[in-house]
Amino acid sequence: MRHWPRAVLAAALASFLALASAADAAQPPPGASSCSGCHGTVPNGTPIPVLRGRPAHDIAGLMREFRSGARPATVMGSIAKGFNDRDIDAISQWVVGQGQ
């Protein structure tokens, strides 16, 4: 049996431990962490809706309507145009569960 050099073993162990240390981190897909700059996670009486807890497919559907212009918007049309369908689905999945 081939023996792994000690350095390789140590590096593997270190990288595993580092991975484990961040295991609780839910990495947002690209673009998703910007949403919470405007959309709060708890209702606070503002006109900008909370996304957390809503069905992901609703958010994705709204984003597609903003992007196509089918749904009028102030800023969301311009923002949604920066994302493709795969981005939108990933972001929608993430934001509805954010902070949980």
In sign, the C-alpha dihedral spanning 60, 29, 73, 69 is negative
Q: How far is residue 13's CA from residue 22's CA, in Å, rounded to a whole number?
A: 14
Angle, alpha carbons 34-36-42 (nearest 5°): 170
Answer yes or no whether residue 22 interacts with another protein by CB under 8 A.
Answer: yes
Q: Which of 52, 56, 61, 87 binds another protein (CB under 8 A)?
A: 87
Shortest distance in whole angstroms from residue 40 CB to another protein: 4
CA proximity to 71, closest of 96, 49, 45, 46: 49
Answer yes or no whether residue 14 interacts with another protein by CB under 8 A.
Answer: yes
The site for another protein, by CB under 8 A, has a size of 43
- Residue ranges that bind another protein, judged by CB under 8 A: 4, 9, 12-22, 24-31, 33-40, 44, 46-48, 74-75, 78-83, 87, 99
